[in-house]
Each structure stands twice: as C-alpha cells, then as structure tokens.
Structure 1
Amino acid sequence: MSPRKKAVKPSVQLGAVVTDTGVQFGVYSETAEKIWVCLFDEQDVETGKIEMSKGDGHVWTVHVDGLTSGARYGLRADGPYDRAQGYYFDPNKLLVDPYARRIDRTFVRSPRLRLPRPESVDTAPVMPKAFVQGPYNTDKPKLTTERPNLIYELNVRPFSMRHPSVQGPLRGTVAALTTHRVLDHLKHIGVDVVELMPVAGWIDDGHLPSLGLTNVWGYNPVTYFAPDPRVMPRGPQELRALTELYREAGIRVVLDVVYNHTGEGDSDGPVLSMKGLDARTYYRHVEVDGQMHMVNDAGTGNTLQCDHPAVQDLVVDSLKYWVTEYGIAGFRFDLATILGRSMNGFSPDAKLLERIRTDKILKDCLLIAEPWDPGPGGYHVGRFGEPFMEWNDRYRDKVRRFWKGEASTLNGLATRLAGSADQFNHDGRKPSASVNFLAAHDGFTLADLVSYEDKHNQANGEDNRDGHSTNYSWNNGVEGPTDDPAILAARDRDIRALLATLFVSHGTPMLTAGDEFGRTQGGNNNAYAQDNEITWLDWENADGALVDYVASLSAFRRAHPALRSDDFLTGDRTGGLKDVMWLRPDGLEMSSRDWNEPDGSTLGMFLHEAGEIMLVWFNRKHEPVEVSLPAESGLTFEVKLVSAADTSIGIKSGHLTLPSRSVVILAAKAE
C-alpha cells in the first residue's frame, strides 16, 4: 500500500510510533519552515518524501498510512540558512530523528556532511537510516536505589575483543557480556553494578579518520535512544538479554550517558540531526558582535541547551526509554553539571535535574553524576544532592598522592577514608554518595599509575599534547615495561596497597574493567581513539592472583559492616569508644602536630562501627615499620588481611611489624 499523509492531533509522542493503520511521526522544531519524512527501501533508495505539518507547541506531525514496523526513514528540514546566526537548514542534508529508536548502520565521517548548503550535495548515501520500531515495552522494571557494593566500569569493545570465551562476531558486542565466563568473573570479584560506557549511536571525532583512528569510548553521541550497531549489531535484544541475565545474578546494569554535547561539533561540524532541525533550540548559543556562537562548555564544540523544555523532554524521555525498554537500572551522567547549567551557570536545583530526581520511573534508578565540566565554574563535586551519587576525583588524587610519597598527605588520606565529609556531609547525604575510585577510563590504568611517571600518548597523533599531565603517578624506578623482578614486585605491592585502601574507605568503590588483573595501556592516559590492543583487555596474560586478591577484598568488605557503614567517621564516641581514632605508629592518638608532620608515612584507622571493632594500618614507607596496638583493655587483635603478597605477620607483645608499602587489617574482640 502506498503511504499517504493524514492529519494528526498536535499532542503526539515524538519519534516514529506504530499505530493500528500506519506510523505516526512527530518532530520538534521552532524555526523550521518545512520538514519532510523520507522513506528508504532496503537498497537505500529514497522511495517517498512526505511533508509534515506544524501544529501547536512547535511539534511537526504526519501519519503515514500503510507503513509498518521495520520501515527505514530519515528527515529533511528547510528554513533559514545563516551559520553566523545559528541556522543550518539544508534540505540536502538527511537528518536522523532525535527520537529514532534504532539505526541501520554506524555513523561514518564524510566531507559531504559538513558542506555548505549552496553545494547542493545530498547526504543520504552516507547517513544511517532510522528503523520504525514496533510497539515497545512500557512496564516499569523492578528498580532499587540501594547503594552498590562495587561498581565496575566497562567498555564493551575493549572488554570483549580478546576474551577467550567470546568467539567471532560476538567480540566487541553487548552479547559477548552474556557468556558464562564473563558473568562468573564479575560474580567472583563481587560486582553488583556494571556501568557500561556509552552504547548510544556515536560518530568519530573529526580529526580521527585521517589518523587511521576511531573513537572507542563513545562519548560523541548523535542518537539518544538508538544503540550503536557497533556494539549491538543484532539489535536491541542484545541489551535486553544482558539486563535480564544480570538481574537474575544480582547485578544491575547502569548506562553511561552523554547529555552535554553531540557529535555535530561546532559551526563547522557535520549536520546530522538536531543541528539541521533547530540548532538554536537544541544547542546553547551566545551573541558576540551580532553573531550567534555555539557555547563550548563541554569542550567539544557545542553544548546541549538543557534549560530548554524540548531538550529536557528529550533527555527525560530517552532515559525512561532505556529503563522501560531495556531494563536499565540507572545512569552515570557524563559532565553532569551541564544538565544543571543555564546562561547564569550551574544550579543543583535546575529544572532538568529536578525532573530526573522526581520522575516516577527515574526516581527509583541509580543516578551517578560526573560533577564537573570544562566550562567556566564547572567544578561542583558534592553539590548534586540526593539521590545522586558523584564521582569523587579528590578521593582519587588524595589517595594517589599519599602512596606516591608526597609530603603532608596524612590529613587528606584520613578525610577520604572517613567518607569525604567535607564534600558530602550536608542535606542528609551519606558517604555512599561518594563514588571512590583510583582509576577510570579517563587517565592511567591502575597498573600504569605505578609504572609511568609521565603520559605516553604518541599513538593518539597529537604529539603527546592530549591527556592530563598531572597524574600523581610514579614508576618504581623504570619508565614502563621492565623484566626487573624487584621493580615488578614493587609495582605489584603498590597496586595491592592501593586496592586495599579503596575497599576500606567509606563510600562506594568503583573499579574499571581490567584493573583487577593489571591491565596496561602502555602509559596512554587518553586512549579514547585506540580501538586496538592498547585498550583491548589482555585476558590471556591476566594476573590471576591479583584477581583473587580483589575478590578477597570485595568479600571482606561485604562481610564487615564497619568497613561499609554509611555514616561519616567523626571521632565521636559510640558506646564508650570513638567511631574512629587515628593512630600514630606508637599506638597513641594523632595530635594536631602529627597531622601536619610533612614526613608522616604511617597511619592507623581504629574503627568502632556497626558493632565491630577493626584496625587498619597504612604504611607507605619502603621499609617495614613496627607499630603498637592501642592499649584498649579487654581487646585482643587478630590479623585478617595483609595487602603485601605472600606475607604473613603476627602480633608479639602488643606490637606488629607492618611490611613495606602495605595495608594491614586487624579485627578486635573482647577477651
């Protein structure tokens, strides 16, 4: 049956919606003069061009009779063309529907995508087409805001490309994560939340094709509903199957989402979707000397205008879609401060953040903010409020600086161990709001942190200019690879001490995939464009002993409420004992002078929490240190865990010798 146009009520759902008699399309644009739905056959030939009608609320609609699920389509829009004023209308540009729920191919860079309108070059041959997706699930899955025991940040392609149990076409895909060995590994190390790095459709950065590189991180989105076929080539069912399998295993799947910018770049970037539909609505602009310039708070050329109602609807609608259609249990918001920005700066009470917090579906999701962006006044750790959790880069840096050996770092270490009260102890928030991490996708891996003094990003093609230069890293004597057994042993000892610190800290621990077995990126601390052996996890050479050690740390934390209590450690008394006492090596409580000691290298954390008494010692010195146990009457101590491999220690006459570069955990009980 030939499709035909039919009048539609203005209050319609945006995107392509299958009805009893066809498909209803809805698109938002304030400044377009014409918009068409263009239909394509399986040979990519344009078979129909149907004009939409503008109704109330700037919503353009059309109903196409006879069209069915699986039909392929795109949009074209006409209107003013004046880049200096923020108008990019060009009917030669085929556009992806912002509400497209599935696309037929990946986005590929092409010069024609950014050609000016007078060139009259059709982009349909190089653009993905959207599929009309049939009726989708709207049931709210069982959700919980319970704080995780361990978050595991995972990039689908690097994680699975070299996994021994993943074969052929499954490599690099979400389906690879459903293999038994992958799930068994996650369960073994105690993961209960998997945080998938972006899986929505993205495009490579403009400079990468000429370098022979591709973006493997996915932080350059074009679509917000449609998965990228690179990681879900068999369609949405891959993600549905994953979330169902993991839910049965007690693991929630959280998505990393990028609502701060898109891959359409600045005024010279490609026209792919929202830029061609209504750039001045979807992207923030500022007027300078009579011209409209895209604001670049995200550092990528454009910034979503998240204080505009249409953009807020796009964000909230897409988040709810991932939850109801795919069973996603929560979200990590990249550069989340932009969701709370207006022209006046950031506010934690911004309308979009409030809508996310109070939506009847999203309020029960796990919500994690990356609480900064590179724009002016963009750093806001601790300001997002409940129920958000927040990545805590101060935790990362203070712990690194202590173990690196920097002077006067005991106070900073203790503050982070105690739950980062300086950032989160307000408005009813708890230590678990702090997502504690040592390393993440952005920066050195944990193994590289103790193997490289400096970044080595030459493979990125930018002469090592990219990536952060301040990493608080050290190399233990040799920069990079070595066969020296003493240096290798020192690095292993440092990794184990760092991991033990993470798991005894108040807050929510997070690991990045592969750090549990010593993955390396060869010193590259910005490997976003390395879809190759630099980022692909080397499972064949994984350090199995380190994996088992991480599993033991994770299990130990879960078994001991004192280590995961969701109360800030303040030094207040509970049942006769302070909830925490900070100890010097002689077993006495730290004084103000001790905290300011530049050479302070050994610290005891004496905990009385959740009905348990535990003592944790941290020794960063390169030689053993004898410490005295606190002289609390009626208590006996037992060594429970030593971070240094193949090391056993005992208590003699109230004294204990801490191995060099180690963390030692003891439990106390009444005699």
Structure 2
Amino acid sequence: MTASARSGPRPTAPGRSRDEPALWPGSPSPLGVTWDGEGANVAVWSEHADTLELCVLAEDGIERAFRLREQVYGVWHGYLPKDVLALSPGTRYGFRASGPHAPEAGHRFDRGTLLLDPYARALDGPPDAPVSVVADTAYDWQGDTSPRVPWSDTVVYELHTRGFTRLHPDVPAELRGTYAGLAHPAVVEHLVGLGVTTVELLPVHHFVSEPFLRERGLVNYWGYNSIGFFAPHGAYSSSGTQGQQVREFKDMVRALHAAGLEVVLDVVYNHTAEAGGDGPTLSFRGLDNAAYYHRHGAAYADYTGCGNSVDASHPQVLQLILDSLRYWVEEMHVDGFRFDLAPTLSRRRGGDVDLEGAFLTAVRQDPVLRDVKLVAEPWDVGWGGYRVGEYPPPWAEWNDRFRNGVRDFWTQRSWGVRELAYRLSGSSDVYGTRRPLASINFVTAHDGFTLRDLVSYNGKHNDANGENGRDGTDDNRSWNCGVEGETDDPQVRALRGRQQRNLLATLLLSAGVPMMTAGDEMGRTQGGNNNAYCQDNPVSWVDWALDDDQAALLGFTKRLLKLRRDHVALRQEHFFEGRPAEPGGPKDVAWFAPGGSEMHEAEWFDPHARTLGMRLSGRTVRRRGPRGERLQDATYLLLLHAGDEPRRVQLPQTGSASTTWTLVLDTADDAAHGDEHEVGTSLVLQGHSVVVLCADPPPSAS
C-alpha cells in the first residue's frame, strides 16, 4: 500500500447512499486483502462484473458490505481504514459480484452468493462453505534454508498430511493428522531413519468435498478438489483456522528443513472444486466464469474428469497460478511442486496442448520457480493429453512406463526382459534427449493399490466408496500370489513378502529418481481398495502397529535406501552408453543372460525370458565430485529372476582383475549377505527374487 493511496480526504462517490461507508481508492496491487496496521487494501480481479462488493463478516454473523468503486484493467480495488472497520488478521470476509447471467457467453454472476477471495491466505468455516480470512503472514524463519537436495540424490516420499500421523502412537492425540503432527520429532525421526530426502505432500491447498460424497457420508480425503490456491488446508491445523494454519504450516516446513528434508507440494491448478455446470459456486465461477475456465458455450470443457478445466492460457489466470507458486516458495519455503494433470495447464483456448505455450514458458523463465523441483504428471483425460517424455527441462515427470514395466515383469506379463532393461537403466527410450533424472520412477502412488495390496489382490475391492465398483482402474497389473486378500497360508505370505522386496529393490536400484508411497515400507494395506480417495478412516491411514513381517520389511527398506545413498554407481546422472567411460576400462553397463555371457539379440527378443543380469561398473561412473574429480565406487551385479522355479546362473567377469563377487542382498533370504562367490561359479536364484553382489569396493566405500 503506497502512502498516496491512503492520503487526502475520503472521497464521496456520486450516488453513494448516506449510510454506505466510503472506501479510499487504494491500489490495484497486490491482489487480495493486505493489512498494513492502519487498514487493509482490497483488490480483486473480474473483467466482466458490473459491480463488486467487499463483505466483512462479524463474529455475530452480521455482514457489512463495501462497494469497490475503483477499477483498473479489470482489478476492482479500495482501501478500508481501520477506523471505519478493522479488516485485521483473523477477520472473515468475502466478495459479492453482480453482472450478467448468460451461460452461453460464459457469465454466471449471482450477487446472492458470497465468494472466496482467490488470493486469500487462509480459509475458515464449514467444510462445504468456507469463507476467506485475513492472515498474519509475519514469521521468524530463524535462518531456515532449503536443503536443496540434488536430483541425483533425491528419494521422494509421497504422503498424506492427515493420514500419515492419524494413528501414530508417539504423536500427542491433539496433534495427530495435522501439520504439527507431521513436524513431531517421532515422525521426523522415522523419515530421516528411513533414508528418504524429499517429502511430497498430497494436496494441502484448501479444498472441499464434492456434494455427492457428502450425501454418502464420505469426504474428499486425498484433496484433489482445491478452491484456495494460497491457503493451507484448515482441517490440517491443530492451532486454529483463522490464520493459525499459516503459521503451523511454516513451523512444519522449518522442522522438516532442519532435519535435511525437502517439502514438495502436490498441486491441483488444473481444475477447481466448482466442478461442472451443476456444481457449487464458491469463487472463480462467480467472479468471472468466462475467463477462469475452458468452455464450449455454456458447457465446461472437461479435460480433467472433474467437471471443469482451468484456463491457464488466460493472462490473469496464469498470473494467479504463478503468484500462488511464488508465494509457496518465497513465503512458505516449499522446495518444489508436483503438478496434477499437468497437460491441462498447457492447453490453449480450443483445447490443444502446447508444451511451448504460456504456462511452461512462464515457469521456465521465472527467477523464483525455475530453480525449484518441478514435476509433471504428464497426462490428463483430454485428447492429446498423454505427453510422457515430452516435458522440457527443468521438468521431471512421473514415468508410468516404469510402473507398468516393472509390475509386468514381476507378474510374468512382460514380453521378455527388454522393457525391464530400459526401466532399470533410466528409460532412455523415453528421456533419451535428456537425462535419467527426468524420470520419476514409481511402482505405487496414492492412486491405486498399495505395495502390499499389489501382491495380495488380483482385482479392486472398492465397495466402501459407494459406486458399485465402477470407480478405480481395472488395469492393476497385480498378482495375489495364489489367494485373493489376506491369508494365513505361510507359503503365500512368504511369496508376498518376497514380491514386495523385489519391487522395492527394482525401484530403488534403478537409474532415475525413485518415489515411494508412505506406508509401503511397512506393508500398509487398504484392503484391496485401489481408489481410496474418499476414505478418511483406517482404510487410508498409516498403521504404525507392525507385525514381524512388517517390521522386517521396514528394516529391509532402510538397508536398501542406505545402499543407494552410499554408492554413486546406483545413482547415475547420465545414461549408460554400453562402452567404457575411459580407455581400457570395462563397459559402464553390461547385460548378462543366465549362462554368464553378455546378452545377444535372440535373448533380448525371447518373449519367455524371465531372468536378467545387469553389471554396473563403479570404476567408470560418469559423475564428478565438487572439485571435478571422477567419483568411483564398487562394481555391482544385479540379478533379477521373475520365474516360478529356482534358476541357476553363472556369475560373469567383474570387469576388472577381481575374481570375487560378494553378496550384498537377496530378497529370498533377508539375512543373507557377505558370502563370497568366485567368477565363473554358479549361483541359484530362488523363484521370484533379486540378488545384488558387488566387487572392487574403493577404499572409501562403506
């Protein structure tokens, strides 16, 4: 707020009623409500409204309306002095917009609806009808800085803020399921001890539940129904929802940063909670429906499957998204974003996806955003919406080719081992013009089966969602190991444990950036529900009471993550070339058949092949240290066998003078390690197992 905006006598606007308080002119920037101690500047954009009113809500529910009479380039603005009414932190407010109701032209104005401020820093009120709140954004970060974990060292851990701590026994009851609960030392200790580097939070922009869910007695648990792009979700706050959620979120970020953990947000800018034509009017639809959404006349263009699609090609809508992103980086100190249904944000008016268009261009050149982690979910449900491998630097992408290929190999659905080799080596067929670090590798995510359910169910069991099994994918690529659901059969349970370890090993030993789903390391189950988006209950919450098998899986995952963290050979920054990195050295990667010889063409195209060996030469890692030195490591041999029966393999040459392989890991025998095996001797792989061996560890290797 500039001094000139508040100086001089209060204006008397023509036609103002005698009892209507006058606002000072104020400023069109910044957008939203900004309290400065003497009053509040108010600015809201609407290109097509005829009038706009600021409505301040008193504690007794009485609403006082102030008409915004100034307009500059579609921004309606004014300044409310505190001696007229204090629009100070904690005050609840909204807007009422009048204008044409002409759906065919995109206009749906209705003065009878109180609208949220698109720039509100906090929202309060009932879950289905929140209101905007003025928030105090002052905060002492106490020197907080981002850990800035390099992509090559990153392990993403996708979790739900509420569900992760809702049942944690060491978190005080009043903090469970909140930002403060996630910052609790017991929770941070688990994350650090596990060995992940980057916490990715499912949506924390304020969201509301769809009316059809409320009618069933359910809620939108995942949060992919945003309505407040600047506001932390109020229900995750233990300290209050009249601005306290902003401070509590910052406390959480500071605690995670202090432990060396990054915070990445899963953000939903592609659609809003206003849904389709029969959805609720909460904010954008009432302020300027024609500008905010892709439309075909009165109908909404639905590229998201959620009823509407935000039109980020409109300059003002693009500004809103960029302002929101910068706010979360600069004011809330988050370290990056995963963009839900990212292609929608790149659609032009008319619907075509343009990956050289306004959104990606603006983000790429933005001095704040271009240096944080940016991850695209590179598909939506509209035409031309599947864009895996096409996003430009500095973007990384969720790689569903990895998920599908790895699942197919371990369920024996794959056509040989070629697909697996591509995924293990960084998906050069998808990201060949970039680097393996563009690939976010995952086997499970919030959407679909948990890791345990992936090996326990052939089909989805979604009856609790109330949609008669119509929801959720049928393309699970899962295998129940012989029995559907939970069982006491010791052989089936042992096989399921081995399959979980196989999937984790494949994920965490592949080139690229691995992403784990919270609870998979502890055998979390959803009872076969592969679309638990509406289950805010123990179906979705992480259960911290572990049986022996779950505790063993947690220990295995920690060892696996430590193995990855300690050895640069398992964290390659560049694609393999299949040739020596230096004259006279071994190939950077070599592939072996069970007989011990390098794979030849017929073996690569054998549709029945179920066993693959991959040798990574640590002596020729294409990665350099801070002083430009070439980093060296042990040489590793990964043996993956998806067949039902044991398979004898001959151990190949190490690629050096060493003639011994040392066992590091065997998913069929969690206790096995340290055994030495001579080159040329044979080793029996148990059915459905991964074996890792190493040779030539450098003196500094752990």
Q: TM-score range by the shorter chain?
A: over 0.9
Which range moves more in the overlay, 132-141 or 472-481? Answer: 132-141
Change in 2 beyond 3 A, CA 1:470/1:587 = same
Q: Secondary structure at the match of 2:164?
A: helix
Within 5 Å, which residues of 2 pair with 1:152-551? 152-234=157-239, 235-287=245-297, 292-342=298-348, 343-426=350-433, 429-541=434-546, 543-551=550-558
The aligned counterpart of 1:115 is none
2:139–2:247 Cα contact (<8 Å) kept? no
Check conservation: 1:408, 1:595, Cα contact below 8 A: no
CA distance in structure 2 between the aligned counterparts of 1:18 and 1:260, rounded to whole angstroms? 30
- The aligned counterpart of 2:626 is none
Assess if the C-alpha contact under 8 Å between 2:121 and 2:246 holds in 1.
Answer: no
RMSD of Structure 2 on Structure 1 (CA): 2.0
CA contact (8 A) 1:18 1:135 kept: no
Query: For residues 3 and 240 of structure 1, do their structure 2 counterparts lie closer, same or farther at Cα, with a shift above 3 Å needed?
Result: farther
Question: What's the counterpart of residue 112 of structure 2?
Answer: 92
Which residue is equivalent to 2:242?
Answer: none
The one of 113, 127, 130 aligned to 2:132:
130
**How far apart are residue 558 of structure 1 and its match?**
1.0
In structure 2, C-alpha distance between the alignment counterparts of 1:645 and 1:237, rounded to whole Å: 47
Map 1:631-670; keep pairs closer than 5 Å: 631=653, 632=655, 634-635=657-658, 636-646=660-670, 648=672, 651=677, 654-669=681-696
CA 1:413 to 1:634, structure 2 compared with 1: closer, same or farther past 3 Å?
same
Among 45, 57, 62, the alignment partner of 2:78 is 62
2:96 is aligned to 76
**Deviation at residue 215 of structure 1 after TM alignment:** 0.8
Q: Structure 1 counterpart of 2:681, which letter?
A: G
Instruction: Choose which of 35, 57, 66 in structure 1 pairs with 2:52.
Output: 35
Shift of 1:596: 1.2
1:107 maps to amino acid: P
Contact 1:417 1:504 in 2 (8 A): yes
Q: 1:317 to 1:670 in 2, by over 3 A?
A: closer
The amino acid that maps onto 2:339 is F
State the Cα distance separating 1:107 from its structure 2 match.
2.9
Distance (Å, rounded) in 2 between the aligned partners of 1:339 and 1:168: 40
Instruction: Give CA-to-partner distance per residue, 1:247-298, whole Å, 9 cap, x none.
Output: 11110111110010000011111000000000010111123xxxx3211001
Partner deviation per Cα, 1:71-127 (whole Å, 9 max, x = no partner): 22111000011334322111110000111111123531xxxxxxxxxxxxxxxxxx3
CA distance in 1 between counterparts of 2:671 and 2:596 reads: 22
In 1, the alpha carbon distance for the partners of 2:413 and 2:447 equals 23
Supply the distance in 1 between the matched residues of 2:524 and 2:188 (Cα, whole angstroms).
19
1:602 to 611, 625, 644: 611
Paired residue secondary structure (1:317):
helix
Extract unaligned runs of 5+ from structure 1: 109-126
Q: Which residue of 2 aligns with 1:120?
A: none
Q: Note the C-alpha offset of 1:136.
A: 4.2
Kept after mapping to 2: 8 A contact 1:574/1:608: no
Letter in 2 for 1:346: V
Q: 1:368 to 1:106 in 2, by over 3 A?
A: farther
Local SS of the residue matching 2:235: coil
Q: Which moved more, 1:657-666 or 1:435-444?
A: 657-666
Inter-partner Cα distance in structure 1 for 2:149 and 2:316? 28
Shift of residue 552, structure 1, vs aligned partner: 0.4
How far residue 54 of structure 1 moved from its aligned partner, in angstroms, is: 4.5
1:600 to partner: Cα distance? 0.4
Residue 559 (structure 1) aligned to one of 555, 559, 566: 566
Deviation at residue 533 of structure 1 after TM alignment:
1.3
Q: How many residues align?
A: 645
Q: Is the 8 A contact 1:3 1:65 kept in 2?
A: no
Among 150, 155, 159, the alignment partner of 1:146 is 150
Q: Distance in 2 between matches of 1:70 and 1:598?
A: 65
3-state secondary structure, aligned to 2:320:
helix
CA deviations over 1:434-490 (Å, ceiling 9, x no partner): 010110000000000000001111111111011110111000111001111111111
Letter in 2 for 1:103: L
User: CA deviation digits over 1:140-160, x for unaligned, max 9?
Assistant: 974437214310001011111
Return the letter of the residue paired with 1:596: F
Question: CA separation in 2, counterparts of 1:129 and 1:440?
Answer: 32
Distance 1:646 1:141, change over 3 A: closer
| 1:104 counterpart letter in structure 2 | D
Partners of 2:460 and 2:528 within 8 A in 1: yes
CA contact (8 A) 2:175 2:238 kept: no
- Select between 247-256 and 352-361 the one with higher mean Cα deviation: 352-361
Q: Which secondary structure does the structure 2 equivalent of 1:532 belong to?
A: coil
Cα distance between partner residues in 2 of 1:134 and 1:180: 26
Offset of residue 245 of structure 1: 1.1
Decide whether the 8 Å contact of 2:586 with 2:656 is kept in 1: no
Q: TM-score, normalised by structure 1?
A: 0.93
Alpha-carbon separation, structure 1, partners of 2:684 and 2:451 = 27
356-365 or 493-502: bigger deviation: 356-365
Q: Secondary structure at the match of 2:313?
A: coil
Quote the residue 1:582 is aligned against.
591
Name whichever of 537-546 and 493-502 sits farther off.
537-546
Tell me the equivalent position of 1:8. Answer: 26
Give distance in 2, aligned partners of 1:94 and 1:154: 33
Structure 1 equivalent of residue 40 of structure 2: 23
Query: Residue type of the partner of 1:634?
Result: A
Contact 2:144 2:257 in 1 (8 A): no
Deviations 1:208-241 (A, max 9, x none): 1121111110000111011121112422111111
In 1, Cα distance between the equivalents of 2:180 and 2:233?
13
Query: Runs of 5+ in structure 2 lacking a partner?
Result: 1-9, 11-19, 240-244, 622-631
The partner residue of 1:619 within 614, 623, 641 is 641
- Deviation of 1:327 after TM superposition, in Å, equals 1.4
Mapped contact 1:150–1:193 kept (Cα < 8 A): yes
Letter in 1 for 2:96: R
Write the letter of the residue equivalent to 1:61: H
- Percentage of identical aligned residues: 42
Q: Which residue of 1 aligns with 2:651?
A: 629
Residue 605 (structure 1) shift: 0.2
Deviations 1:300-349 (A, max 9, x none): 11000010111111111111111222211111111111121112511222
RCO greater where, 1 or 2, for CA within 8 Å and sep 6 or more? 1
1:315 maps to a residue whose letter is I
- One-letter amino acid matched to 2:365: T
User: Per-residue CA shift, 1:4-58, capped at 9, x if unaligned?
Assistant: 4111344x11000113531011111111001100011122221x10011242211
SS in 2 for 1:332: strand
Distance 1:83 1:476 in 2: 54
Shift of 1:647: 5.1
TM-score (norm 2): 0.89
SS at match of 1:51: strand
Aligned to 1:123: none
Gap change, CA 1:660 and 1:226, over 3 Å in 2 = same
Taking the aligned partners of 1:522 and 1:551, their CA distance within structure 2 comes to: 25
